[in-house]
Amino acid sequence: MKRSFWLICIIVSVFYFSNMVNATGLYNSNKEDPRVLKPIFKGSNDNKVLSVDISKKGNMFVSASADGNVKIWDLNKKTMLKTLMFNDLVKAIFLENGKKLIITTRNSCYIYNTSMFKRLSKIKYRVIKDCSSSKDGTLLNISYDYGDKQDVYNIVSGKLLHTFKRRAYKTSFSPNKKYLLLSDNYNISVIDLKTWSLLTTLPKFQSKIRSFGFIDDQHVFVFTSGYDHSYGYLFDIKTAELIYKSYDFKKYGIEKALYTGEKYNFILFDDGNAKLFNLKLNKVLKEFFARGKSKDDGFTSVFLSNGSMIATGYEKGDMKIYPAGSFLYKASNHKTLGENSSDSGVLDNAVSDDSALKSLPVDNGKNIERKPEVITKTIIIKEEKKKNMKPFLQIYASKTSGYIPLDVSFKIIANDEDGEIKAYYLNIAGKEFIGKGTPMKVFPFTFDKPGLFKVMASVKDNKNAVSTKEISIKVREESFDDFKNNVFGKDKE
């Protein structure tokens, strides 16, 4: 009887647990979870990813990381085109439909062409905070922490269009290039680029601004997140009127948000999770896993390329590209996760937990007292005459010691910050390798004699500056004792 009783208990427990698994949406570990997205491209850095970007044609990908590496990839061939090294790196983005690349450090902005990766110009100033470009890549805004200054450049002509005084950590151009959003951690101002005057200021946010931008030429989205509250907002920029506000995302949190191009649909990112959220319906339509190296590997940068690819950068150095269709389509096949689903999301009376949003100002031309200081002088960007810098050079060996015959692969990493590599020279135990440009291949070599060998590499830039590096390779004959220890271990006789 006792055995029958326990057998019945086990059967009931298994049946109950299996139903619970199905009801809660948990998946069998042997079955593939459809929520886990499969990237079409993977890359990695040794440190935190600061920014990711995809060229408009979708053929190139660039990442900037905290270790100073800027990596440019050919997405068609899935090969690295170039690696550049910088100190105090901030960001790297494509301009002019991928024809140019701007690399921002704390003290300078460097503009390169993407055909030869030759530096075209340099903009130098103290403490650069951020840079952003218009959708077509022809306008560039640079934000400076020192002096709360903003510079707007025409990249095609190379002219500084305007400078004005206003603090901003992040900026965003409208699609038609008529407006510029300026944001610090808790405020957003709208600048009219025709008159270079302040159009309006959105109400102050109580939580930190994580993402913002335009969904069209008249409407702005803002996503905020803090310890207590996380919200999404949609405003009319001309009147500062709040149109929609989401429920509190404190259950999820928000690190980054992307507008998909579909009306009111956004992708929200947090701790390796991504959600397709409709701000008008106030619902999470679809949930995904798009993780880096671990579950707690947070998103540091996200980018949507022409609605076709989504690039992500992670805290621990991973970079991935996903097909955008994985995020946007077949939402009806997934469980709706939204809270307050009966609420349409429309705030006729602008009800808000943020006290600053309870009373929304309308810009009638009288409310705004502060106007940015405008400098209308046009300045041509000129290259500074500076002493030519030596090119960066590093040499790597797959092994630095071993027994004969010892097979070693050597690789040279070189780039020139203020020019280009003209030629390289590699000497391995008397054998010479000479070539033009930056060496992209691996040099294999077999040491068949014992000794201490020096391997020397040199590169020369287009202004004849030379950098040289050396490493040593120790090669020895394998004695009987070495052989015995390697085969049988030190404890074996």
Q: What is the CATH number of the domain that holds 283?
A: 2.130.10.10
The string of pLDDT tens digits covering residues 425-461 is 889 988 888 888 877 667 889 999 999 999 999 988 8
Q: Give the per-residue SS3 of 403-442.
A: ECCEEEEEEEEEECCCCCEEEEEEEECCEEEEEECCCCCC
End of a domain among 380, 405, 422? 380
Residue 404, beta-bridge partner list: none
Predicted pLDDT at 386: 58
> Tokens representing 413?
């990493």
76 and 160 housed in the same domain: yes
Assess whether pLDDT exceeds 80 at residue 358: no
The string of pLDDT tens digits covering residues 115-151 is 888 888 887 766 788 888 888 888 888 888 766 788 8
How many domains in the chain? Answer: 2
250 and 198 housed in the same domain: yes
Predicted pLDDT at 485: 62
The string of pLDDT tens digits covering residues 383-413 is 345 577 788 787 878 888 888 889 998 888 7
368 and 465 housed in the same domain: no
145 and 206 housed in the same domain: yes
Q: Is residue 22 part of a domain?
A: no
Predicted pLDDT at 3: 57
Range of the domain at 417: 392-488
Predicted pLDDT at 174: 92
Positive/negative CA dihedral, 346, 349, 354, 358 = positive
Burial 275-289, CB ≥16 within 10 A → b, else e: bbbbbebbbbbbbbe
Instruction: Please count the residues of the chain.
Output: 493
Predicted pLDDT at 148: 76
pLDDT band at 366; cut points 50, 70, 90: very low
Nearest residue to 193 via CA among 181, 183, 179 = 179
Q: What are the CA-CA distances from residue 383 to residues 70, 132, 386 (Å)?
A: 22, 21, 9
pTM for the complete prediction?
A: 0.61
Predicted pLDDT at 491: 47
Q: Is residue 10 part of a domain?
A: no
pLDDT over 70 for what percent of the chain? 73
Q: Is residue 12 part of a domain?
A: no
Predicted pLDDT at 286: 84
Q: Is residue 351 part of a domain?
A: yes
Q: Is residue 4 part of a domain?
A: no
pLDDT band at 299; cut points 50, 70, 90: confident
| Rounded CA separation 318/320 (Å) | 7
292 and 318 housed in the same domain: yes
Assess whether pLDDT exceeds 70 at residue 362: no
Q: Region 73-88: what's the mean pLDDT?
A: 88
359 and 448 housed in the same domain: no
Q: Is residue 23 part of a domain?
A: no
End of a domain among 334, 354, 380? 380
The string of pLDDT tens digits covering residues 54-76 is 888 888 999 999 888 899 989 88
Predicted pLDDT at 274: 83
Chain centroid to CA 113: how far? 20
pLDDT band at 172; cut points 50, 70, 90: very high
Which of 19-33, 178-192, 354-368, 447-461 bottoms out in mean pLDDT, i.e. has the lowest? 354-368
Predicted pLDDT at 330: 44
Assess whether pLDDT exceeds 90 at residue 233: yes
Predicted pLDDT at 480: 64
Cβ-contact 142, 151 below 8 angstroms: yes
131 and 211 housed in the same domain: yes
**Which residue is associated with the tokens 């020279």?**
425
Q: Region 199-219: what's the mean pLDDT?
A: 90
End of a domain among 352, 380, 408? 380
Q: What is the CATH number of the domain that holds 470?
A: 2.60.40.10
Predicted pLDDT at 116: 87
Assess whether pLDDT exceeds 70 at residue 329: no
Predicted pLDDT at 287: 83
93 and 236 housed in the same domain: yes
Predicted pLDDT at 292: 64
146 and 252 housed in the same domain: yes
Give the list of residues 6+ apart from residue 16 with CB closer than 8 angstroms, or none: none
Q: Is residue 412 part of a domain?
A: yes
Which of 30-34, 288-292, 462-466 bottoms out in mean pLDDT, i.e. has the lowest? 30-34
pLDDT band at 158; cut points 50, 70, 90: confident
Predicted pLDDT at 178: 92
265 and 136 housed in the same domain: yes
140 and 162 housed in the same domain: yes
pLDDT band at 212; cut points 50, 70, 90: very high
Q: Region 21-49: what's the mean pLDDT?
A: 65
Predicted pLDDT at 341: 30
Assess whether pLDDT exceeds 50 at residue 24: no
Predicted pLDDT at 27: 42
CA dihedral defined by 120, 123, 127, 133, rounded to 10 degrees? Answer: -70
Q: Is residue 385 part of a domain?
A: no
358 and 457 housed in the same domain: no
